[in-house]
Structures are given as C-alpha cells and as structure tokens.
Structure 1
C-alpha cells in the first residue's frame, strides 16, 4: 500500500493546490493532507482544513499550528512523520524544496507543476486581491471571500426587488427568502400557532441556502433577508427570540445590512401580515442592529434612488476589499 503526504498552508486553498492534491490521490492508496497554520493568520488553519474536508470528503486532513522556520527542512521532515504517524512513500509538492524534504523522510518527491504553468496563481496574490482571483477558487472557498449585502426591514418595502435587481446589474447570485416559501407552504394548515423549532429550521436552511449560493457569486452576494430577520419574525410570532436562532445568525457575516425604509406603498398578498405591524418591525430591526453592533445603512426614497445608492456602495466594497480583519 502506497502512503503519501501533501503539506502546505493552503492560505487560501486554490486550483494549484487542488491539482497537487488530486495528483496525489490518483497515485496513492492513502493520503494525509497537512494544513500548516500559525497564530495570527487572518484565515485560520481550522477554516482552511474544513475547506479541504468539504471538497475531499474521506481524505485524512490534519491541521497543525507551528513555529518552525520555513527553511528548516530537517524540522519539517521530523515533525511531518510525527503529525501523520508514518513515513510516507511519496511526497507531493509544487515547491523546489520538495526533493530535500522528501529525502529526509526516506520518501520520493513527486513534483507537480513547480513553474506554475497550469495554474499561474499564488496564495499571496489571492490574499492581496481575493475578488480578482475567484476563478482559481473552489465554490467552498469562494463563499468565504465573496462580499455580502443583506436586505432587511418590514414587509413590502422592496427588499426582494432590490436584491434581484442588483444581482442582475452585477451578474451575480442573490438569495431568496426561504421563510416565505415555508410560510406559503403552511398557510392553509390548521396549525396556526408558530413554534420556535420552525424558526430554527428556517434559519438553518436560510444559512445553508446563502452559503451555497455565495460559492457561485461574482464578487458580491445580495441576500433578500437572512437568519437575523428570522429572529425578528420569531419574536413577533412566538413572543421571544430563541438562543438557537440567535446563534445561527451570529455566525453569518455581512459588509452591510441594508434597511429598507417605510416610505413605499404597502402591498398586501396571501401571506403578509397587517400593515400596522410595519412600524414595529422597522424599529425592531434598527434596535437589534444597534444592539449587536452590525454595520447598516437605511435606504429611503423611490426605487431608482435606492438602487443607485446600493450599487455605488457595493462597488466601493468590492474595490476596497483585501484580506484584513473584516473577514475574521
């Protein structure tokens, strides 16, 4: 049985790394991928390891944190054997140091596209400008770097129209509201009383829905509501928000929440509540956005004014984004 190793920072994982991994998988019976992290790195080693697990389910992934000098091949070889628990037969890298590193472990080095001709990209280049290199990133990784706007507010204030219209302008994805689909499905049910477990379900699906679509977005994702809004609806329909839903919206990150103001005509439909609820809901969103210190803006005026403002803000966010503390 041939056993091997692929080791790297994967900071972030890109197409060149995947080429090395897939070459190794094609030649080995057993592979361990070692993700090397250091304290203080913006994208944590555990996050990078989870990307690889999602893309290559069943492959053994070890995440380690170290303080080994980059050019200390002997320390790297010694610790690699310790980390993976065996002496590898084959070592796969796209680095010139691979020959010496593999030899120290009694292994054979298999170089994979060292000149970077097949995938001319580096982790440094991606970190310097992630949104210009999305084509080199798997959807699982893209979802982490894509910027996100979330539209919230009371009913019938134009959230869906703005999200969908902006997605067309930017040729990107947008996220519909799962809670509305769910509500339409239960509208004729004899069980009129809402339960917290339903909102937890809605929040989980909304998060998953959003993260999947983020992987196919073009630099920015526009969300027509999110699990934070689910929490507000839970407060309204159950009487209080649950810790479970609070935890679910707490893990989602946005560049901006866009709060749509009430200065548009209310249109009733088959699932919307009474118009009288709008003021309470608008104020509740603002209060909770302040409470959780979420970054937001309020958009008012006609549709064209709102659209132009959001388009300008989105272009600023895309232009300014680099790997920095904002995405921790």
Structure 2
C-alpha cells in the first residue's frame, strides 16, 4: 500500500517569492508541485474579478491539486499557495467569503505551511494589487493559519530564502518519520 503523500504549502502575501520557491523546492526534492491556479485565471480575465470568479478559482485550485496528487510518484508535493488565498482575497475585496470555500477549509489539510516573510522587495506585476498592505496581509496570514490550527513556520531571507525553506522541510521530514 502506498504511503500518504505529504503536502507542503508555500503561502504568504503578494511578492514574497512563493512561485519561485515552490518550483525550486520541487526541483530540489525531485517531485511535483501544484501551481497557483488564480494566476492563470486572473491573467485571462477580461473584466474586474467578482465573487463568482473567486468561487471559480477555488474550484480550479482544488482540481489542479487533485490532478497533481493523482499522478504523484513521490511521497511529497509542494503547493504554490492554497485556496486559503481565496478566503483572504474575498474577505479583503468583497467583505465576505463564499460559503463553499468556508465549508471546504477544514477538509483540506496540509502537513506543513511555509509562510514566506515580506522581507523581499516588492516586485511589480499586473496581477498584484496591494504593495502598501504587506504588513496587513502578513498579519491576516498568521491569523488564518492559527485559526486552522495549521502547522506553519515563518521563513525569510533574501539570498538564503531557498536554503531556509529546505532547512525547514528537512526538519519537518525528520520529525514526521
């Protein structure tokens, strides 16, 4: 029987290096990773994002993760964010979170969250919206992860960010054996 696959989520506010770190971790551990569905979805939007779009992004992220899990051959995958982002954005932009997202939150568990710190310089990107609210979103991430009783670690560093993430993944893997 196959061992369960450990899922490590790379999360945090905008412009903290999540996509870069996630792909680098997957390469380092020679495993698969789940991209951020919302990035592709939002890039294709021809109108302002609405609450239905948030629901669509939730379903897309869940389906993308399920697809990667279905073909994973290693006992570890990395996720470039999770649909918790949908809750955070929905609350911030629309003042509410779709019920389908709230209902799903306790059902999707990640073995470890690496919360990336806001110690990197802001990088402009047409899909990023809040350069002056990084501290605000960092506090929201802490609050949301704590409310889920999530196993998470804050990881920072400029040149050594990847090394710091690998160190935390190694600690986690050693503790879980």
Tell me the TM-score normalized by structure 1. 0.51
In structure 2, what is the Cα distance between the partners aligned to 1:161 and 1:196? 28
Count of residue pairs brought into register by the alignment = 176
How far did residue 249 of structure 1 move?
2.9
Q: CA deviation at 1:319?
A: 4.3
Question: What is the RMSD of the two structures over their aligned residues, measured on CA atoms?
Answer: 1.8
Equivalent residues in 2 for 1:204-283, closer than 5 Å: 204-217=59-72, 218-283=74-139
**Structure having greater relative contact order (Cα 8 Å, sep ≥ 6):** 2
Structure 1, unaligned stretches of length 5 or more? 1-13, 15-125, 131-144, 323-328
Alignment match of 2:29 (pick from 166, 170, 193): 170
CA contact (8 A) 2:106 2:148 kept: no
Report whether the alignment pairs 1:200 with 2:55.
yes
Offset, 1:172: 0.4
Structure 1 residues 151 and 303: alpha-carbon distance in aligned structure 2, compared to 1, 3 A threshold:
farther
What's the CA shift for 1:239? Answer: 1.6
- In structure 2, runs of 5+ residues without a counterpart are none
Q: Is the 8 A contact 1:203 1:248 kept in 2?
A: no
1:89 corresponds to which residue?
none
In structure 2, the partner of 1:183 is 42
CA drift of 1:320 comes to 4.5
What is the CA–CA distance in structure 2 between the aligned matches of 1:244 and 1:277, rounded to whole Å?
Answer: 27
Q: How far apart are the structure 2 equivalents of 1:257 and 1:288?
A: 12
When residues 320 and 299 of structure 1 are mapped into structure 2, their CA distance, relative to the original with a 3 A threshold, is closer
- Indicate the structure (1 or 2) with the bigger Cα radius of gyration: 1
TM-score, length-normalised on structure 2? Answer: 0.90
- 2:11 match: 152
Whole-Å separation in 2 of the counterparts to 1:174 and 1:308: 18
Cα contact 1:146–1:221 (8 A) shared by 2: yes
CA distance in 2, matches of 1:148, 1:162: 15
Shift of 1:210: 0.8
Following TM superposition, by how much is the alpha carbon of 1:275 offset from its aligned partner in structure 2, in angstroms? 0.6
User: Cα deviation per residue 1:81-140 (whole Å; 9 max; x = unaligned)?
Assistant: xxxxxxxxxxxxxxxxxxxxxxxxxxxxxxxxxxxxxxxxxxxxx6xxx2xxxxxxxxxx
What is the distance in 2 between the residues matched to 1:303 and 1:152?
19
